[in-house]
């Protein structure tokens, strides 16, 4: 049927989100990225960083996104949220499931140096 005429309907399954400056989808994305900044993350796939479940070994801390890109700090001094009071010194830490860290059993966490633990909700650690 080389002379047939076909009408193809426009697909309506997914809206096109352009993420243009000033668009609602871009504002929602920036808000979500800013909310995730400062949380411990793991690597769920190739080139990806994702939130940790309780007890997960984390690889670093998500930083504030800049110019549309995210970064993960994997070494150095960083302030992290904590779900319990930590003691200064070497510690085994694991994700607490809400973006922060908690103490883990011997050999069950990421070894880090807790430099400052002035409050019950945050600590400065050296990864």
Range of the domain at 65: 24-126
* Domains in the chain, number: 1
* 27-45 pLDDT per residue, tens: 887 787 777 788 999 988 8
* 65-124 pLDDT per residue, tens: 777 677 889 999 999 999 898 999 999 999 999 999 999 988 899 999 999 988 778 889
Would residue 12 count as lying in a domain?
no
- The CATH number of the domain holding residue 91 is 2.40.300.10
Would residue 14 count as lying in a domain?
no
pLDDT of residue 44: 86
Would residue 68 count as lying in a domain?
yes
Q: List, as one string, the DSSP characters of the chain.
A: -TT-----PPP-SS------TT-HHHHHHHHHHHHHTT-EEE--STT--EEPPTTPPP-EEEPPPBTTB--EE-SSEEEEEBSS---SEEEEEEE-SSSSEEE--TTSSEEEEEEE--SSSEEEEE-
Would residue 71 count as lying in a domain?
yes
Would residue 86 count as lying in a domain?
yes
């Amino acid at each position: 049927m080389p002379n047939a005429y076909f009408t193809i309907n426009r697909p309506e399954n997914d809206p096109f989100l352009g993420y243009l400056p000033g668009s609602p989808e871009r504002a929602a994305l920036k808000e979500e990225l800013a909310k995730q900044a400062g949380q411990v993350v793991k690597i769920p796939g190739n080139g990806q960083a994702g939130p940790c479940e309780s007890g997960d070994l984390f690889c670093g801390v998500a930083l504030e996104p800049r110019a549309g890109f995210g970064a993960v700090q994997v070494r150095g001094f960083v302030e992290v949220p904590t779900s319990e009071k930590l003691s200064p010194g070497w510690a085994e830490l694991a994700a607490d499931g809400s973006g922060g860290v908690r103490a883990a059993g011997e050999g069950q966490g990421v070894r880090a140096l807790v430099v400052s633990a002035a409050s019950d909700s945050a600590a400065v650690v050296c990864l």
